[in-house]
Amino acid sequence: MKTVQYREALREAMSEEMRTDSSVFLLGEEVAEYNGAYKVSQGMLDEFGAKRVIDTPIAELGFTGIAVGAAMNGLRPIVEFMTWNFAILAADQIINSAAKMLQMSGGQIGCPIVFRGGNGTAGQLGATHSQSFEAFYAHVPGLKVVTPSTPYDAKGLLKAAIRDNDPVLVLESEKMYGDKGEIPEGEYIIPIGVADIKRKGTDVTVVSFGKIIKEAHKAAEALEKEGISVEIIDLRSVRPIDYGTVVNSVKKTNRCVVVEESWPIASIASEIAYHVQNYAFDYLDAPVKRVMQSDTPFPFSPPLMAEALPNVARIIAAIKATMYK
């Protein structure tokens, strides 16, 4: 094992795949000469050259459409969005083109493409730069959406995404790029659509994914001291969702809390809550709870930010509520 940053794990995934498959290339704003806005692609221009590590103008719709066309015609592009907030400008090509090409062409033309970049809040960036897109894109059949929360998951899931023949979105976080964690020396792949039980427990199931899962871990540690045993399931993928792992865990703990850094309506949390009540109704000792971001555009001022975000205290309160404590 070795310790790497999240950004290095992503870079290793891309570089390894680019070494073995010449049809894989990276494009996006500042990915080449600037070495990436968040230094994910540092050094890749030197290794792979300008043909395969391509700086684009600031034209999300255009360069995404070009990448989609390249994928339709046999290449395997990796599109880096500086953040997912800006990918809204490219949503037409992601949702109307990439997600539907295989179906509408009757299986003739697929779109093996990876879209990746920072997602969610990342400090005092204001409302337009602080949005989470898991639920948005998880809604769309034809796409796959992964949400790595550790360097280990980042490398394994990104490699799976690059090898996948379907369009895959990788939702990262500017706040996680510097996170350190252990990964194996050699190659490994994490299959898309399989959840990971990040912490074993018996009293309550906490379902989460992406950066905010770290708050769930802190809450679980604090509760352990009080004798409450929390099981944490990292979905890793929000399309498809590994409902089985969640439902089986709830059948054991009889309680469920979902922690999500996004808005409440039509969220991944609502989706999980639906499935849990449908498939584990008789096992539930309490209603499913969720801890979400405030139902507002994300604020700028620090006290308001703190008020808007899910945090350890709220997660603890939600867990205790399911235990009637």
Distances (CA, A) of 269 to 24, 127, 134, 281: 34, 21, 11, 16
Candidates 13-21, 90-98, 220-228, 295-303; binding stretch for another protein (CB under 8 A): 90-98
Whether 60 is catalytic is yes
Considering beta carbons, is residue 139 or 214 the nearer one to another protein? 139
Considering beta carbons, is residue 109 or 313 the nearer one to another protein? 109
Q: Name the token pair of 46.
A: 């030197």
Whether 172 is catalytic is no
105, 128, 202, 296: residue in contact with another protein (rule CB under 8 A): 105
Cβ atoms < 10 Å from Cβ of 305: 17
H and E: helices and strands count for the chain: 12, 14
The DSSP 8-state label assigned to residue 299 in this structure reads: P
Q: Name the token pair of 292.
A: 């979400």
Question: Residue 58 CB, nearest distance to another protein (Å)?
Answer: 9
For residue 106, the one-letter residue type is G
6, 38, 63, 81: residue in contact with another protein (rule CB under 8 A): 63
Which one of 8, 60, 134, 260 is the catalytic residue?
60
Question: Residue 64 CB, nearest distance to another protein (Å)?
Answer: 7
36, 117, 118, 142: residue in contact with another protein (rule CB under 8 A): 142
104 near another protein, rule: CB under 8 A: yes
Q: Name the token pair of 157.
A: 């899931």
Q: How far apart are CA 60 and CA 111, in angstroms?
A: 18
Between strands 256-259 and 144-146, the pairing is: unpaired
Is 154 in contact with 121 (CB distance < 8 Å)? no
Mind giving me the DSSP string for 226-257?
A: TT--EEEEE-SEEES--HHHHHHHHHHHS-EE
In 21-150, which residue ranges form alpha helices assigned H by DSSP?
Answer: 44-48, 60-72, 91, 101-104, 134-138
Site string for another protein, 193-232 (x = CB under 8 A): x---------------------------------------
Site string for another protein, 23-62 (x = CB under 8 A): --x-------------------------x----xx-x-xx
Is 234 in contact with 190 (CB distance < 8 Å)? no
Considering beta carbons, is residue 248 or 294 the nearer one to another protein? 248
Site string for another protein, 248-277 (x = CB under 8 A): ------------------------------
9, 26, 45, 72: residue in contact with another protein (rule CB under 8 A): 72
Q: How far apart are CA 148 and CA 168, in angstroms?
A: 13
Q: Name the token pair of 160.
A: 């799976």
Considering beta carbons, is residue 90 or 212 the nearer one to another protein? 90
- Annotated catalytic residues are 60, 129
Interacting residues toward another protein by CB under 8 A: 25, 51, 56-57, 59, 61-75, 92-93, 96-97, 101-110, 112, 141-142, 144, 164-166, 193, 240, 278
